[in-house]
Structure 1
Amino acid sequence: MGVQDGATGPAAGLLRMAMEQAFNAVMITDAQPGPQGPRIVYANPALCQMTGYSEAELIGQTPRILQGPLTSPEVIQTLRECLQTQRFFRGSTVNYRKDGSPYVVEWNISPVKDEQGVVTHYVSVQQDISAVTGAWATSELLAKALDAAQDAVMIANAQGEIEFVNQGFEQITGFSRVEALGQSPTILKSGEHTEAFYARLWQAIQSGQTFRAVFINRHKQGHLIHCEETVSPIRGPDGTITHFVSLIRDQTARARTEQTLREQATRDALTDLLNRRAGEWALERAFLSAREGHKRFCVILTDIDHFKRINDTWGHPVGDQVLQRVATVLRAGVRATDSVVRWGGEEFLLVLPYCEAAAAQLQAERLRARLAEVDHAEVGRVTVSMGVAELRPHETLASLIERVDQALYSAKHAGRNQISLG
C-alpha cells in the first residue's frame, strides 16, 4: 500500500512529497490485530535512515522488529492499551536499528478512521532523540548508575516535558517512568508554594543559573513529600538551553522529625488546646486522609457570643476563665480522633475526621446546649455560635475554612446562640 492509495489528484502528490521529504520518521501500519499486531504498510526515507532498514525490509513486518532487550515493556503495554481504546499515544523508549545498535525514540501514534468511523490504520511520527538523551540511553553502565542512585534524577526539555527519570524518582514520587515521561514536572505540584516561588525558579534557570530550594511536592498517592531539589539548565553546542536536570533528595523523614518537635510546643498556654499552628497541621492531616481515602470530613467553628463585652465588663481574668470553661466543655464533648483548636481569640475550631454533615450538626447542637446550661459565677449564662461545614469533592482546604467561617457569620448575624450549616 502506498501513501497515495485512496486519494487522487494534486493533493495526493503533495502529501506523498511531504511524507517523503519530512525530517521526522513516519510509519503507517494497518489496524489488523493479528498474532503479532498491526503490519507496516508505509515507511518514509527518514524512518529507513533512522532504523537502517530499507522500505522493502519494513513493509509487511510488525513494529516489533525494532524492539529489543531495553525496550520498555511498560511503554509498549501503554501503547497497546491506547490502540485498543482508539486513543492518541505518545511515549519514549529504546528501539534497535538493523545492525543491533540501540537508539532512543520518541514517537506518537494516531488512529486513522474511514468514513464510517472504523479505524483502518495507525500513523506514527517518530524522532531519534539519542543525541539529547545520549549517555543514559546508550551507556548501560551510566543507566545502571543513575538507577542505583537513591536520589531522584529528572530531565525535562526546554518545553517542560519530562524525558528521563531514574528509579530514585519512582521511589520518591510514586510515579513510574511510563507515567512521568512526556508529562510536565507540575505533576508533583502540591499547591504549597506561591506563584512567586515558581516565578523565581523559572527566572533563575532561564537565565542559566542553578536553582536550589526545599520543595514541598505531592506524592502520587496524595501525601506531601519534602524534597531538597537542585534544578540546573543544560546548554546545547550553540549555547541555547535545551534541557533542565533536577536532582531531588527526599527530606520527608527529617521534616516529620522537625514537625514532631514543633508539636511538642504547640499547646495553647491558657486552654491547653492545640494552638493555631498545631491546628493547621491537624487540619491538613485530616484533609489529606479524607481525600486519599474518599472519607467524610467536617469542621465546626465556634465563637463565644459577646466576648468583648465580658472582657470589658468583668476584666480579662474573668474572660480567661470563660475561655477555659468553654475549652473544657468542647474537649470533653468530642471523640478521641477529633481535634479541638484555639483558633484565635474567642474562636475554637473542631476538626472531625470520618464525620458527615448531619452528625457534625448533632454534635454541634449538643455542645451548644451543654455550654448554654453552664452558669459562670460572675458572668452568668455564656452562649456560643457555631458554623458547620463538610468537605466537598475536589474542594480545597482554604475553601472549606472560608465556608465554615461564613456559616459562623450567618449564625451570629441571625441572633447568636445557634448553629448554621455552610
Structure 2
Amino acid sequence: MIKVAKFGGSSVADAEQFKKVKGIVDADPDRRFVVVSASGRRFAQDNKVTDLLLLVNAHIEYHVDCTALLHEIERRYVDIKEALGLSFPVRERFDDFIDSIHAHSPEFVVSRGEWFTAQLMAEYLEKPFLDARDVIVFHHDGTVDLERTQLRIRDAVQRLGDFVMPGFYGSTVDGSIKLFQRGGGDISGAILARCIDANLYENWTDVSGFLSADPRVVDDPRTIHRITFDEMRELSYMGASVLQEDSIFPVREVGIPIQIKNTNLPEKRGTTISEVAKDGAREHLITGIAGKKDFLAVHVQKAHMSSKVGFVRRALSVFERYGVSVEHIPTGVDSFGVVVSAADVKDNIYAIVHDLQKELEPDSINVVDQLALISVVGRNMSRRAGTSGRVFGVLGEAGINIRMITQSSQEISIIMGVSNADFERAIRCIYDNFVDTEMVDMPRQATLA
C-alpha cells in the first residue's frame, strides 16, 4: 500500500510539530511520500511564513526596507534546525536568498516558505528532498500539465524512492516558479498521489476531520467519518471546509480516497472522502448541515413566463452585466427568483431592478433581503421517502418561516432560505432532530455516485 501524507502549515509550525510529524510518518511504513506546506502559526497571534513572505514582496514593490522581516523568517527556520539538531545550512541558504531577492519573481519569494520547510523536514525524516519546481509542470495558462508532471514524478520515484516534497508551487516549462492559489499545498499532495497511483491521500491538519455542523452554532457536533466528494463540495460551498476544494479533482478522477487527520490527535479516526460505502454499513441519514447569512433574493413574476423563450436568460444577463455571481435560481411556472450575495449588489441593486423592469417588463419584482441559506446535505436522504417534508415540518413546528426551497439535481442536498434572525435556531433545530440521530442501513455492495 502507498500513502501520500500532506502536512499543513499548523503541522510544521515549529520543532514540536515536526516531532509529531515524524511520529506519524514513522508509525506507518506505507507513508513513503510526504508533502509539506510552509510553517504556519505557532500561536493565535503569530504569523504564517507565507503571509510574511507576501509582506516581503509588498515591501520590495514599494521600496521599503524588509531586512528585519526577512531575518524574522530566517529565525523561524534556524530555531527549528537548532531544536532538532539538524545540519541543513539555513543561515547560509537564507543569506543567499536575501542577497538575490531582487533578482527573483514575487512567486519565487513566496515559494521559499515551503522550500525551507521541506528541506528541514527531509533531513529530519531521513528522506531525500524533491523540489516541486523540478516535477510539477504548469502550462502558461496556469493549469497543470499532468502528463509531463506524471512522467517527471515517476522518474523521481525511480531515482529517489521515498521523498519529501514542498507543496504550493511548481514551474512553467521554462523553469519559472509558479504558485497554486492559497491552500495549494493540498493540490500538490493530490497531484503526487495521482501520479504515483497511491492507495490513499492523507491530509494532516489541526482538526479531526469535517464536522457535521458549525461548532459556533451547534455544541460539540459529531465528526463526519465518511463523506462523498459531492457532499464535501456541497458543504464546502457553504463554508464548511478543511480542505482546498480543487484538491479533490486529481484524486477523484482515479478513485483515490482522501483522509483528513489531525496531527495533534493522530489517534482520532478523522474523515474519509470516498465514493464507496463498506458492505452493509450503517450510516447517518443526513451527513451534515452548513449555511451562510446575508443573501438577497430578487423575485420576478410574469404571467405565462414559461412560454417565453429566453426569459430567464435575459434576466441573468442583467446580473452578469453588473458582475454579480448568482447563487441559486428557484423557479415556478410564472415566477423565478435570483439569489445573490447581498454584498455583491449593495451598490447597484436599484440599477439592477431598473434594468430588469426595462428588459423583462414583468408583472412585479420583489426584493427580499436579510436572507440566510442553509444546506442540508446527505447522500442517504433519497433512500428514505419524506425526508424533505419532515425537515420542513420540524422548522414549521419551531415557528421558522422558510422563504425559499431548492434541491440539487443529484438529490443530495436541500437548500432553504430563512431570515437571518432564524439562522442559528434553524440549524440547531435540524441538527437536533436529524443530523445526530437518524441512521440508514446501507445495502450490500452499495456504490455512491
Same fold (TM over 0.5): no
The structure whose Rg is larger is: 1
Q: Which has the higher contact order (CA 8 A, sep 6+)?
A: 2
- Larger proportion of strand: 1
TM-score by length of 1: 0.28
